Amino acid sequence: MTYLILGANGLIGQQFVKLCRGKNIDYVGTRFSREKGDLKKVDFLDPDHMREALENLCPTPTAVINCVNLAGGVNFCEENPGPARKLHVESVKQIVDWCNNKNAEFVYFSSDYVFDGENPPYKEDDPTGPLNLYGQLKLESEIYIREHMQHYLIARTTNVFGWDPDTPTPNFLMYLYQTLKEGKNFNTPAYLYGNPTHVEDLVKAALELLDKKHYGLYHIVGSGYIDRYDWALKFCRLAGLDQSKIIENKEPPKNIVPRPFLSNLNIDKVKKLIQTKLHDVDEGLQMLMAEMQKSVR
């Protein structure tokens, strides 16, 4: 059994690497701009050469786990629709077709941004309505996967976090941590609600679903729901950081790329099938504190 982990040095990808090592699952990993260990460079903005690169790297994968993301996120996608489509749709289609040829399973991470945030909480089969290009492209890939594959796992997730203070693509809490460590103020969107999701829970849940062959579309997020301001304050209190540097923004800026402000994903479907606990906000922060203390020791 070999897992091919694409984007294996990112937030979600490196957690797959860690858990595969712990479970003695063979894996091969790719990266893009940052060298790391024996990860091989593959460029998903060049979908035509991507298949050849994957073929050379791992000709018979049991499962392909796509954790690739475009640096710059939602804003970058909106401003760069060409590269965004290449990475978020064209490369995914290539991988799906390749997986089908290889009889390999496929794991894909989608987003709460497939919804408009008007009617939360959302179940898996609720109507979608993305507000921005990133959400549209994620949805387009979801549809292609569902129409062309049998053995797939699509995990819609959001607000993923874990301890990684040196990353150049920080998650919300790491960005907050880096900013406060530099003594700067941190503007926090209090109008933005979501489900904080510890990356370990997300990846454990995905591996459990894969292991049990529960294919399909799932919401996999933490079991809590909170706005970014309160989440930031809770983190600061636990980490002993200066709360006075957190600036509460109550209204979205006029030029913000549209996004769902009230984003709450219902996780009943996945909870019925797995043992992995999807921790709430406080429990997730406690997990983060344990990682933080380990890293500074």
Ligand X SMILES: NC(=O)c1ccc[n+]([C@@H]2O[C@H](COP(=O)([O-])OP(=O)(O)OC[C@H]3O[C@@H](n4cnc5c(N)ncnc54)[C@H](OP(=O)(O)O)[C@@H]3O)[C@@H](O)[C@H]2O)c1
Q: What's the distance, CA 284 to chain centroid?
A: 16
The region of 4-12, 17-25, 181-189, 245-253 touching ligand X under the rule CB under 6 A is 4-12
- Note whether 244 binds ligand X by CB under 6 A: no
What is residue 186's DSSP assignment?
E
The region of 54-62, 67-75, 124-132, 261-269 touching ligand X under the rule CB under 6 A is 67-75
| Cα 135 to Cα 47, 111, 122, 148, 195, distances in angstroms | 20, 7, 15, 20, 17
- Note whether 10 binds ligand X by CB under 6 A: yes
For ligand X, the binding residue among 16, 20, 31, 232 (CB under 6 A) is 31
Q: Among residues 97 and 245, whose Cβ is nearest to ligand X?
A: 97
For ligand X, the binding residue among 20, 96, 106, 159 (CB under 6 A) is 159
Residue whose tokens read 């402000």: 261
Q: Among residues 245 and 256, whose Cβ is nearest to ligand X?
A: 256
Are 107 and 151 in contact by the 8 Å Cβ rule? The answer is no
Are 107 and 63 in contact by the 8 Å Cβ rule? The answer is yes
CB within 8 A of 265, min separation 6: which ones?
112, 120, 121, 122, 156, 157, 158, 195, 219, 221
- Note whether 114 binds ligand X by CB under 6 A: no
List residues bridging with 193 in a β-sheet: 227, 262
- Note whether 263 binds ligand X by CB under 6 A: no
- Note whether 193 binds ligand X by CB under 6 A: no
Q: How far is the CB of 156 from ligand X (least distance, A)?
A: 7
Q: What does the binding site for ligand X look like in residue numbers (CB under 6 A)? A: 7, 9-13, 31-34, 42-45, 67-71, 87, 109, 111, 157-160, 169
